[in-house]
Structure formats: C-alpha cells, structure tokens
Amino acid sequence: MRILLSFTLTVLMVICFTQGLSAQSDIKPVQISIWHPVQIYDSETSIHGIRLNLFYGINKDVHGFDWGLVNKLNGNMKGWQPGFINLIEGNVEGFQEGFVNHVKGDFTGWQHGTVNISKKKTVGFLTGFYNSTNDMRGVQLGLVNITEKLHGLQIGLVNVNKSGDPFKFLPIINFSF
C-alpha cells in the first residue's frame, strides 16, 4: 500500500512540476506507449518526467524515468532507464539497466545488464556478462570486457584493451592509468 501511494504521489509531483513544459509542443511531462506509433505523443516529442512503454516506445529525449520492455530514443537520456532492451542514438547520463543496453553516443554513469555496449566514451561503471566501449574511463566488471582505450580497471574472465597500454589482454584483471 505504501509503495502504491509513494508511486502515485511521485507521478503527481512530476506532472505538477513539469506542467509548464507542456506548453512547449516538443516537451511533455508524461508519455505512455503501447507499441510505436500507438503512444500519446509522436516520436519527435521529448519527455521530461516519466515515460512508460508497455512493449515498444520511441521518443526524441527523456529526462527522468524511462521504463518499458523496449525503450528507444533518437536523442539523449538523462535519468534512470530500466528496460529489457534500451536503444539510445545519442548520449546517456545516469543509470541504465536491462538485458541489452546499446548507446551510440557517450555514456556517463552506471550501465548494468547482460550486454552493455557504448559506442563512444564511457565514464563510470559497466557491469554485465559482456561490456564493450570505445574509451573506458572507470571500471568494467563482467565476464567479457572490451575497450579500444582504457583508463581504469577491467575485472573479468576476458579483458581486452585494444590500445595495448600497458596490456592488450589479461584474464581476471586488466588496468591502465
């Protein structure tokens, strides 16, 4: 009962505090999607608040909470994104968790899932079965960790630092500072 009350109050607060944003046609406080394009607002709309995707939703950006089975953004994510599959064309700042997390831009924060892929620079923490990024600045913790450039620590069964500074491959622990 307390959880339901807390969730309801949180949703109401987000709606109240972000109501002024709804006057702008491209930013809305709440999005509900069943399967794109069956959603309240079109895919070009940014959400500053809460987005709930029953199966598959597409939007430009989300700043806040983004929950669903398949979450796709054509822009950036700032906040918390729990989902089964998270697909981001831009950058992410925050906490992303899912079976598959795929970010085409930079990632800052914590990415947790079975498969974590960040195509550009990652600053923070990657935890999962498979972690891959172009430029890792932080910690990768998983069975397989791969990066082009490492400035930090890799902990796992397979750790690959393609730059080879100081080592290209080390099992268990690889590092570069």
The verdict on residue 100 lying in a domain is yes
pLDDT (average), residues 110-116: 98
- pLDDT for the residue 170: 95
Across the chain, mean pLDDT equals 90
Q: How confident is the model at residue 2 (pLDDT cuts 50, 70, 90)?
A: low
The verdict on residue 148 lying in a domain is yes
Which tokens belong to 104?
């085409």
**Domain encompassing residue 128:** 91-177
Q: Is 102 exposed, middle or buried (0-12, 13-18, 19+ CB in 10 A)?
A: buried
- Given a contact cutoff of 8 angstroms between Cβ atoms, the answer to whether 93 and 78 are in contact is yes
The whole-model pTM stands at 0.84
How many separate domains does the chain show?
A: 1
pLDDT in tens, 66-106: 999 999 999 999 999 999 999 999 999 999 999 999 999 99
The verdict on residue 44 lying in a domain is no
The verdict on residue 11 lying in a domain is no
Q: What is the Cα gyration radius of the chain?
A: 18
The verdict on residue 15 lying in a domain is no
- pLDDT for the residue 25: 61
As a residue count, the chain comes to 177
The verdict on residue 26 lying in a domain is no
Q: What is the DSSP letter of 61?
A: -
- pLDDT for the residue 118: 97
Among 120, 81, 88, residue whose Cα is nearest residue 103:
88
Q: How confident is the model at residue 8 (pLDDT cuts 50, 70, 90)?
A: very low
The verdict on residue 144 lying in a domain is yes
The verdict on residue 101 lying in a domain is yes
Is the pLDDT reported for residue 11 higher than 60?
A: no
